[in-house]
Structure 1
Amino acid sequence: MMTYHNLFLGGGKPMKTKTAHAFIALVVVFAMILSGCTSKEQGTIAESTSTKDAPKQGGTLIVGLNAEITVLDPSREAGWETFRVNRQIHESLVTEDLSKPTKEVPIPPLKPALAESWKVSEDGLIYTFHLRRGVNFHDGTPFNAAAVEFNIRRAWDPQFEYYDKISAAVMQLTYNGLKEIKTPDDYTVELIFEKPFSPFLRMLAQGSGGTGLILSPTALKKWGNDGYAEHPVGTGPFQFVERIRGEKIELKRFDGYWGDKPYLDKVIFRPIPDDNARVTALETGEIDIISWPSRDSVAKLRDKGFKIGEGDLPSIFYYAFNFDSPYFKDPKIRQAFIYAIDREGLARDLLKNTVSPAFSIQNPGNEAFDPNFKDFSYDPEKARALLKEAGYPEGFETKLITYAGKEPVAEWIQRDLAKVGIKLKIQTYDWNSYLAVKKAKTPDIGLDSMEWGFVTPYWLYIVAHSNSGSNSGKYVSPAFDQAVDKAILEPNQQKSITYWKEANKIIAEDAGILPIYYDRTHYAIGKNVNGFVVAAQDWYDLNKVWIKQ
């Protein structure tokens, strides 16, 4: 058996301790070299304006979200903004070290959380977790092996009394191939898989579409699968107070927290979908941090002394072709679509270089990302020629569905496509309504949009494998699936990366998905906020954040 603490990176196989330390050092150096090719600023940390300032206890941090969150139920949630709230309340067996900015650590390592340590068998089939003792949920009930088993069975075992079909659908990406659960004692959990699943530990720490965050079994039994989200109870540093939809989610410091206590007394998350209103709220001091500042505001905010959270993040905005649409069954039409869009101009002129143009669905922030890979260049003439070959010399009309805040990008793409004869109708929804429409997509919808991404190359399985429930376009390629399956099962990390890159090349040449840009700018931070770290991830920790009065 091999023992691990925070020695597992990305989607590869863990290694023995001495080897792992050397390997991680090499990976970090290599990733820093790669990331240096993609953007000028590689991460920021909001520090005290004076190095003499000591962290202050107390105060309320107000965060402006770009959308109303979905549900405060770890196994049912969807979306980064939701996970950013959920992970303050709940914790997972393993988590990511988000204490360093992207310029220092391009791929955040895993570290112990509710599990003090873990072991993985040589064949990659058995994960043994040794749980942290003395941890209580916010309701006072103990965290133990029974609680872990309860959470997993809820989303995995149809025979379990509290089995939840919604959780099972969301969590199938994480519990892929799980065969058996054993709890030899109150603080040991063994998970046995049918086949090796190298991304498993990373998936436990991930969010937005399934997460390993643990909830209180007592609370779930009290409120039920459908009622729990209104009364969430975890073990995290902050405890749920109330949620008023459209207005706020309020949390308070959990004084019984097992780890380092937060400096803040309270955190309030406020949904503010309007970009301009969010920026104004930051400028006036009504809000302390905002998600996704409008691109036109970034330079202005920086000039005014606000801190802009930038770095190479595992974040890609893309359009998924709907393969139920008669148009997008033809690869020539899909290729024409991509040739017609000036992604470099979009990143430079519309989004003011706060993003990088994306030429691959594989995102920055994992070891399989190749910054030099390029699918198709901007070439309107080539697009017209392909449309003619496909039988549409005058173009055609199709519909894009998207969500609030992404209209300017859609309109830019609409104008580019019009130049080659493609008429793009744009339909916009608020975030929660959008998810419902996307899930029930009909053939008249040609494309849907999403900003997503993972620090593990397993992201390719999630977004495009034929067996993935998150393959919204229903892309099917046996060659792609085969390369992805080989990558997941391959115990040698370097060979696994080779398979991941092969899969990326296949889907790119097939124009299976339309990558648009890699986002580098997720936050704008108030002048009074200290200790907020923009790590190489799509969420953050608030334990060390403090407010300068």
Structure 2
Amino acid sequence: MRKFVLVLVVLSMIIAGLGIAKDTVVINLQAEPSRLNPIIYQDTETSMVLESIYAPLLDLTEDGDFTTEGAVTERFTISDDGLVYTFYIKQGIKFHNGDPLTARDVKFSYESFMDPDLGSPHNRYYAGIEEIVLVDDYTLEIHLKELDIAFLTLARLRGAVMPKDYIESVGWDEYERHPIGAGPYKFVRRVPAQSIELKRFEDYFGENAKIENVVFRYYPEMSTAIMAIRAGQVDFIGELPTDEFNALKRTAGDDLNFGTYERFEDHRVVFNKRPGEPFADVLVRQAVNYAIDRSEIIALTRPGMATPAVGRVPTFHPAHAADAPAYEVDLDKARELLIEAGYPDGFKTQIFAPSNHRERVLEVQQIQRQLARIGIEAEVVAVEWGTYLDVTADGEAPMFRERWSASAPEPISFIESWHSESSWNPIFGTYYNEEVDRLVDLIRVTIDTEERWELYREVQRIAMEDAVCVPLYYPLVGEAYNKDLYIPEDLWNPFKRPISAVHRWEWR
């Protein structure tokens, strides 16, 4: 017996000395993903999960350029007139169920986004497609109705090539319950209100994931997530609130690693501009812009971790409109505009925010106080994430606090929702300006890059003169992770954020 115990002790010492390789990484999500369906989802949390399950048609470099590395496309060509895109698909790629990935699946994926019966909110991105031609099993041509310089940015399948035969066999509902892609991780299971589990796909066509299992665990309360990462129950928390990020850096010492990067996104307040709403009047929207103090909001929730927004495209991008109307705080001007609009005593309204994002709730509470200075009584309505998506999509929110992460490298989706025919237009407040429509259409056919950047800037100048929204800030994102977890440096940038390539993470 003593010999047996001694052997166990020795083995324990050897194992402790050598260390045991971890095979799981646990990632925090601030909300439960909505629907694991690439053509339907609209939220960031779902995107964070699906990026590990699917293989993209094209990927992005850290500089925001297109690349075929890590993508299903071997190469692609564009015709001289810009109307025909030919994709040559890599051979030997398998979906998670073992089916081969071919050009048929790419064609099916495009047609699913385009199918009005499936109700994708992203279908406008594919509206410019005239036809999709299968040349052979691994080659397809996409013919456009007209030149569209933003086609690849908006219509590169949102990173999702889907399996035609499997979906046609089980149906969309079952597919959403058990999604199958060709990415580095395969779906294992979803525990409602708790977690989503993925496992390394051993037949992945690229470099195999270094960590075998990924668990996305929901911690709607950030304080709970922070306790979990301190206790070693969570290994990565993305997009920490600034105060929590700074406090954790001060107190964690060497127990955690930290990283920051700029995001290709903006934060803003959206108006419901439908007829009959106070915000249908540009004078009211301008008054609100003059009343909101962005510097106060940044000082409250993101000190040192945000830049006041002017227009929508972030400052690091050449399409940023530094000279767009910025609406410096002027309460007297705001009150004059309300009087001119017929609201001398102000009015009552509501502003919505997702309750699971504490920073956003704090910000709309601050906005509530700021609007009270000019007589607008704004009720703060904080609702859970799913309800927030429904209410804003249905046009029930007079105002709501929104974040938009844009596709890259072309910043078209920042302004595309302002086009009157955009599928996003009804969601983001119903805006119509004939000149904005013309310029957005012109952007899509302007090949010269510098000319196109100036068109972006002009669209933002016009839209901000119309006070179409209240730009708040461009964020610097802070994230915390286990000290033994290695995340490559090239992932800390606006176009290749850490969560976009979990398969490249590894335990030291």
What's the TM-score, normalizing by structure 2?
Answer: 0.89
Work out whether residues 57 and 159 of structure 2, in 8 Å CA contact, stay in contact via their aligned partners in 1: yes
* 3-state SS in 1 of match to 2:417: helix
Q: Distance in 2 between matches of 1:179 and 1:96?
A: 26
Asked if the contact 2:108/2:162 (under 8 Å) is kept, the reply is: no
Query: Where does 1:488-503 land on structure 2 (aligned, <5 Å)?
Result: 488-503=444-459
Question: Structure 2: how far apart are the matches of 1:383 and 1:157?
Answer: 45
Following the alignment from structure 1 to structure 2, what is the Cα–Cα distance between the partners of residues 131 and 351? 44
Correspondence for 1:283: 230
8 A contact 2:195–2:215 mirrored in 1: yes
1:202 and 2:166 correspond: no
Secondary structure at the aligned position of 1:183 is classed as strand
- Out of 335, 338, 347, the position equivalent to 2:286 is 335
Cα distance in 2 between the residues matched to 1:193 and 1:517: 36
Structure 1 SS opposite 2:124: coil
The answer on whether the counterparts of 2:350 and 2:378 sit within 8 Å (CA) in structure 1 is yes
Residue 344 of structure 1: how far off its partner (Å): 1.3
In structure 1, the partner of 2:139 is 188
Counterpart CA distance in 2 for 1:267 and 1:153 is 31
Q: Deviations over 1:390-438 (max 9, x none)?
A: 2222211111122121210110111111111111111122111211111
Residue 237 (structure 2) pairs with residue 237 (structure 1): no
1:530 aligned to which of 482, 486, 499: 486
Displacement of 1:295 in angstroms is 2.3
Deviations 1:423-454 (CA, angstroms, capped at 9, x unpaired): 11111221112111112223xx3212221132
Describe the shift of the 1:522–1:182 C-alpha distance in structure 2 as closer, same or farther (beyond 3 A).
farther
Question: Which is richer in helix?
Answer: 2
Aligned CA RMSD, in angstroms, stands at 2.0
Q: CA deviation at 1:362?
A: 2.3
| 1:125 counterpart residue number | 83
- Aligned partner of 1:33 in structure 2 is none
1:464 maps to which of 401, 418, 423: 418
Give the C-alpha shift of residue 195 in structure 1.
0.7
1:322 maps to 272
Distance 1:57 1:531 in 2: 16
Separation (CA, whole Å) in 1 of partners of 2:57 and 2:134: 14
Q: Is the 8 A contact 1:339 1:383 kept in 2?
A: yes
Distance 2:245 2:151 in 1: 37
| 1: CA distance, partners of 2:503 / 2:159 | 20
Q: 2:104 aligns with which of 146, 170, 174?
A: 146
Residue in structure 2 matched with residue 453 of structure 1 by the alignment: 405
2:265 aligned partner, one-letter code? S
Residue of 433, 436, 448 corresponding to 2:387: 433
**Using a 3 Å threshold, how does the CA distance of structure 1 residues 109 and 313 change in structure 2: closer, same or farther?**
farther
Per-residue deviation at 1:352? 2.0
Q: Deviations over 1:195-230 (max 9, x none)?
A: 11111222245xxxx724112223212321122111
Distance 1:491 1:464, change over 3 A: same
In 2, the alpha carbon distance for the partners of 1:528 and 1:428 equals 37
- Trace 1:117-516 onto structure 2 (pairs within 5 A): 117-157=75-115, 164-166=117-119, 169-205=120-156, 211-303=158-250, 304-305=252-253, 306-324=256-274, 325-364=276-315, 366-371=317-322, 373-404=324-355, 405=357, 406-442=360-396, 445-454=397-406, 455=408, 456-471=410-425, 472-516=428-472
- Alpha carbons of 1:364 and 1:278: their partners in 2 closer, same or farther (altered >3 Å)? farther
Letter in 2 for 1:346: I
Distance 1:281 1:378 in 2: 41
Distance between the aligned counterparts of 2:258 and 2:100, measured in 1?
A: 40
Distance 1:258 1:375, change over 3 A: same
Q: Report if aligned partners of 2:416, 2:440 keep a CA contact under 8 Å in 1.
A: no
Counterparts of 1:493 and 1:340, CA distance in 2: 36
CA distance in 2, matches of 1:460, 1:547: 37
Q: Which amino acid aligns with 1:216?
A: P
1:33-60 deviation per Cα after TM superposition (whole angstroms, max 9, x unaligned):
xxxxxxxxxxxxxxxxxxxxxxx96521
Alpha-carbon shift at residue 372 of structure 1 (Å): 5.9
Question: Could you state the TM-score of these two structures normalised by the residue count of structure 1?
Answer: 0.82
How much does 1:497 deviate? 1.4
Identity of aligned residues (%): 29
Count of matched residue positions in the alignment of Structure 1 and Structure 2: 474
5+ residue gaps, structure 1: 1-55, 159-163
Q: How many angstroms apart in 1 are the aligned matches of 2:111 and 2:455?
A: 32
Distance in 1, matches of 2:258 and 2:402, equals 23
Inter-partner Cα distance in structure 2 for 1:523 and 1:217: 37
The structural deviation recorded for 1:276 is 1.6
**Post-superposition shift, 1:355?**
2.0
Deviations, residues 312-334 of structure 1 (Å, cap 9, x unaligned): 21111111111124311211110
Q: Which amino acid aligns with 1:239?
A: K
Write the letter of the residue equivalent to 1:344.
Answer: S
Secondary structure of the structure 2 residue equivalent to 1:368: coil
- Alpha-carbon distance in 1 for matches of 2:314, 2:36: 27
Which amino acid is the alignment partner of residue 162 of structure 2?
L
- Distance in 2, matches of 1:476 and 1:525, equals 44
State the Cα deviation string for residues 137-195 of structure 1 (Å, max 9, x = none): 0100000111111212223256xxxxx422xx323133131010111111101000101
Structure 2 unmatched runs, 5+: 1-19
Secondary structure of the structure 1 residue equivalent to 2:313: coil
SS in 2 for 1:336: helix
In 2, the alpha carbon distance for the partners of 1:198 and 1:515 equals 26
Instruction: Give the SS at the match of 2:502.
Output: coil
How much does 1:341 deviate?
Answer: 0.8
1:73 corresponds to: 37
